Structure 1
Amino acid sequence: MNSRPVGRRRADRRGTRRLEVPAGHGHGHGHGGDHVVDTSVVDNDAIVARRVRIVVAAVLAPLITAAVIAMIVMWPGGGVKVATYQTDTARGEVTKLAPCPDKRDQCDLASIKLSTGPDKGQIAPVQVPQAGKVPISIEVGQSIMLGVQTDAKDIADRYQYVDHDRSKPLLILAAIFSLAVVALSRWRGFAALIALAVTAVMLTQFILPAILKGSNPLLVAVVGGTVIMTIAVFLTHGINAESSIALSGTIAALGMTVVLGWFFTKFCQLTGLASDGASAAKQFFPSLSLTGLLVAGMVIGALGVLDDVTVTQAAAVWELSAANPSASRSELIGAGLRIGRTHVASVVNTLVLAYAGASMPVLITFAIQGLPGQYVISTEMVAMEIVRGLVGSLGIIAAVPLTTTLAALAVADRSRDLVTLSDAQNTN
């Protein structure tokens, strides 16, 4: 007698998710032994397709259409750069280092062979921090980034040291990451990388410029987040019933995150000024709403985890229905929530720790001062991170029952409804 457990996953040659269940626990023509249930039958089920079409037509399609129209209306028409805040840039390799003639103990005079910029190929003298003056010293052979004073006539006065050039190691890391994703997930991983590129384009070409153009940051984040999630989910997981339900749950949870973020930002009297770069942004764009920007950051920060949770929940309910097509809504919701609880427990901890990790220098500073805990958490710098972490976590928690319920409504009682539909057709 075969002792394989109920519900164990198995993949066929096409990569389709399958479940092995004992005979009698699913539909099929086999008798005895283990019966393999292909979860793609759920997407192809006429009952499921009809229910999902209702959700798409009544909810999903109007929301996506509204988001696309809003994005077109708010699309920034031109550059948003501030001329007085701009500087030309160049890169170069250090070929020689010697103490500065007039400040021997303070800096080194580096000979830089320029690889970019107006003087590409030439050697420019640049003052750089001496070893011990910076955390990472400059050495011969390293590539560094430079600022360019375009109005300087002499090449010796034209270039200033900015920082190490880290583009090459970052590109290597990105290449390793891309290869790992494709090696593990194959074509789906490749689609995920394309979705990641789309996200980067949306952030740099729409969300940030639209906010700087004067559009409401919260509205921009919601519109941009909806478009990003639509492209990411359908591109990575395909346009099918399961993906449509997952996307519906994502957008619903995203809306709840927006409401909670806005309410608790006001309730906790957060101004957004404690955010990195907020003062500089406000200086150059006085009309910029920092509180709106703060809530927008919460929304964007929660998007990726919401996607993970909703897709997982939809897939779990789909597999449960594939294993037992006659499962009722309450049975699927109960089983789906049991799966979701474990997932949420780890994901929420991950999100909170991510925000805490980003705030470690601030927390260390307060620890050194020995301030009372209640005093520390009431400061805007810390309270802002707490609100971010908890609001994002609440959005994730909400995503589980929302997506599970939508998925259960779509796939519950498939076999019973199919029998009823067949009987009705035979009667006619």
Structure 2
Amino acid sequence: MTSLPPPPPEPHGHPHGHSHGHGPAAPVSQHLRKVIAAVLIPFATAVLVGLVVLWPGGAPAHERTGVGFDRQTQQGTVTKVEKVDCKDVNAAQVPPTGDTSTPEGREAQQAQNGECARATIKVTTGEDKGRTFVEIIQPDAPRQLTEGQGVVVAYAPDAPRDLQYSVTDVNRKVPLAVLAGIFAVAVVAVGRLRGLFALIALVVSFAILTLFILPAILQGSDPLIVAVVGASAIMLIALYVCHGFTARTSVAVIGTLISLLLIGLLGSGFIDWASLTGNTDDNTGLIHGLYPDIDMSGLLLASVIIGSLGVLDDVTVTQTSAVWELRQADPTMGPRALYRAGIRIGRDHIASVVNTLVLAYAGAALPLLLLFSIAQSSVGTVANSELVAEEIVRTLVGSIGLVASVPVTTALAALVVSADRPASDSALGSGGAPGSGGASGSGGASASAPPPRRGGRGRRRKA
């Protein structure tokens, strides 16, 4: 058997045919960057102008009503808890007639039985720091106090002195802070630098929500316009901070923007058609009472847009990354093949994301659904009530936007990555495969390398 000489070395400067099939994606062409910038720069400029024009400078002041969340509160500590006979502290609750056939009478009768707790609470913040008051805890109360426990106390300045302070909640700052710390450590430990960027984006999102969106709505700006500007700012900052200033991220931004536009149009149409007012519970009623100029139906639409944004980001980024990775794995795939492969991935994503969104809203409305079950209302009656109809519209409009984002983003990503022709292709002329990042085609090989050797066939004959 004769041995063949090794093939001659490739000339310097010849690009390897497999060099772009692995590692990070090649940078997009200058022309493609200009096209993407022509779309995103005006949009980002409009968002920035909207932030400047609508910036509220803080929430407007108002006179406290003392109702619900609109109460003056201070911090306190339980200094002593002692057991007392319920008859000694609840004598005034005995029904005058002794009739226990009514719910009020039975409740008053039960208050006379058992052992109650008398807690002494010390106010630890505010002008009355150091002042103490007594709170009676019934044996069947859902919240029992313990000595040394931190509490939140409500202050009613117009009430008699002995009744000015009352316990409204417990202080949960420490466990919540510890849980937030565990969450941050877990995100950074698994995501590393990308996880750190995600936490930064999360902080910025909450800052825009609390410093811009909520105060601007309270100042009387249109809730829909405020939500669109604020959600767009959150989207731009979160996506680019987490995923970098790349064409891949820009495609995800455009896909998210189109889906948000669809959600806004559908939400506006169906909220108006279904005559949803947005004023359905004590909290929205309090907001409308304090700020009657706020458009509550517009506030409902704003909540639909903001609530859908987080899941939209996940879908669009995933679809764009999937198409980009498919292109890197097989540079010969055209836009149609990339779309078909990407949409197969998207179908699985749709099923899981829509189910997640529906269950999230159902979980939030679970107590309400339990009340309807107790009342033995029919499904039609439950769905027709405004409380449930709001959640149905919110869920279905958001889900339609999520479903639409998959084919829209996949098609955009397939077109963009297929049109990508890095600079090395133009240097090779028309022979390079489009988007292959310099992979050798027939023309490219003839221009810079000798013709292929035929030693393989001769070796088989000699073998």
Higher RCO, 1 vs 2 (CA within 8 Å, ≥6 residues apart): 2
Give the 3 Å change call, closer, same or farther, for CA 160–275 of structure 1 in structure 2: closer
After TM superposition, give the deviation of residue 354 of structure 1 in Å. Answer: 0.7
Larger Cα-atom Rg: 2
Q: How does 1:124-163 map to 2 (within 5 A)?
A: 124-132=132-140, 134-149=141-156, 158-163=164-169
Q: 1:54 aligned to 2:35? A: yes
> Counterpart in 2 of 1:343?
349
Q: 1:73 is matched with which residue? A: 53
Tell me, in whole angstroms, the C-alpha distance in 2 between the residues paired with 1:28 and 1:93: 72
Deviation of 1:159 after TM superposition, in Å, equals 2.5
Distance 1:360 1:149, change over 3 A: closer
Following the alignment from structure 1 to structure 2, what is the Cα–Cα distance between the partners of residues 166 and 256?
40
Q: Are the aligned partners of 1:328 and 1:413 in contact in 2 as well (CA < 8 Å)?
A: no
Normalised TM-score (structure 2) = 0.78
- Listed as ranges, the matches of 1:239-278 within 5 Å are 239-275=245-281, 277-278=283-284
Structure 2 distance, partners of 1:384, 1:153, is 41
The C-alpha deviation readout for 1:93-152, integer Å capped at 9, x for no partner, is: 2120245975476875422244332344x25123243331x2121121211101234578
Further displaced range: 407-416 or 168-177: 407-416
Equivalent residue letter for 1:382: V
Look up the equivalent residue of 1:246 and give its one-letter code. Answer: A
- 1:153 is displaced (CA, Å) by 9.8
Q: Shift of residue 217 of structure 1? A: 0.6
The CA RMSD measured in Å over matched residues stands at: 2.7
Show structure 2 runs of 5+ residues with no match. 1-14, 92-110, 432-443, 448-463
User: Quick check: 2:117–2:136 contact (8 Å CA) kept in 1?
Assistant: yes
1:292, distance to aligned residue in structure 2 (A): 0.6
Aligned residues: 390
C-alpha distance in 2 between matches for 1:152 and 1:366: 37
- How far does the alpha carbon of each residue in 1:380-419 deviate from its partner, in whole angstroms, 9 at most, with x for none? 1111111111111111111111111111111116469964
The structural deviation recorded for 1:364 is 1.4
Matched, 1:224 2:209: no
Describe the shift of the 1:276–1:173 C-alpha distance in structure 2 as closer, same or farther (beyond 3 A).
Answer: farther
Query: Taking structure 1 as reference, are residues 236 and 82 closer, same or farther at Cα in structure 2, changes over 3 Å only?
Result: same
- How far does the alpha carbon of each residue in 1:351-400 deviate from its partner, in whole angstroms, 9 at most, with x for none? 01111111111211212222221222111111111111111111111111
Matches of 1:287 and 1:61, distance apart in 2: 34
Q: Structure 1: which 5+ residue stretches go unaligned?
A: 1-26
Amino acid at match of 1:93: T
8 A Cα contact 2:21 2:328, kept in partner: no
Q: Distance in 1 between matches of 2:33 and 2:319?
A: 16
Q: How do 1:326-405 residues align onto structure 2 when only pairs under 5 Å count?
A: 326-405=332-411
**Matches of 2:400 and 2:383, distance apart in 1:** 19
Work out the CA distance in 2 between the residues paired with 1:337 and 1:377. 33
For residues 245-276 of structure 1, give each alpha carbon's deviation from its aligned partner in whole angstroms, at most 9, with x where no partner exists. 11111111111111111111112221112256
Confirm or deny: 8 A CA contact 1:90 1:116 kept in the other structure. Answer: yes
Note if contact 1:348-1:393 (Cα within 8 Å) is conserved in structure 2: yes
Amino acid at match of 1:171: A
- Segment drifting more, 381-390 vs 90-99: 90-99
Which amino acid is 1:136 matched to?
R
Name the residue aligned to 1:208.
214
Shift of residue 157 of structure 1? Answer: 5.0
Describe the superposition over 1:159-215 as per-residue Cα deviations: whole angstroms up to 9, x where unpaired: 321111111111111111111111110111111111111111111111111111111
AA aligned opposite 1:54 = V
**1:175 correspondence with 2:181:** yes
Structure 1 residues 238 and 89: CA distance shift in structure 2, 3 A: same
Distance 2:376 2:158 in 1: 50
- Secondary structure of the 1:41 match is coil
- Structure-2 separation of matches of 1:55 and 1:316: 19
Q: TM-score, normalised by structure 1?
A: 0.84
Distance in 1, matches of 2:323 and 2:136, equals 60
Shift of the alpha carbon at 1:321?
A: 1.2
Name the SS of the counterpart of 1:83 in structure 2.
coil
Tell me, yes or no, if the aligned pair for 2:21 and 2:331 is still in contact at 8 Å. no
1:84 corresponding residue in structure 2: 64
Compute the displacement of 1:89 (Å): 2.3
What's the counterpart of residue 110 of structure 1?
119
Secondary structure of the equivalent of 2:80? strand
**Shift of residue 294 of structure 1?**
0.7
SS in 2 for 1:118: coil
Candidates 78, 90, 93, aligned match of 2:77: 93
Equivalent residue of 1:126, what SS? Answer: strand
Q: Which amino acid aligns with 1:402?
A: V
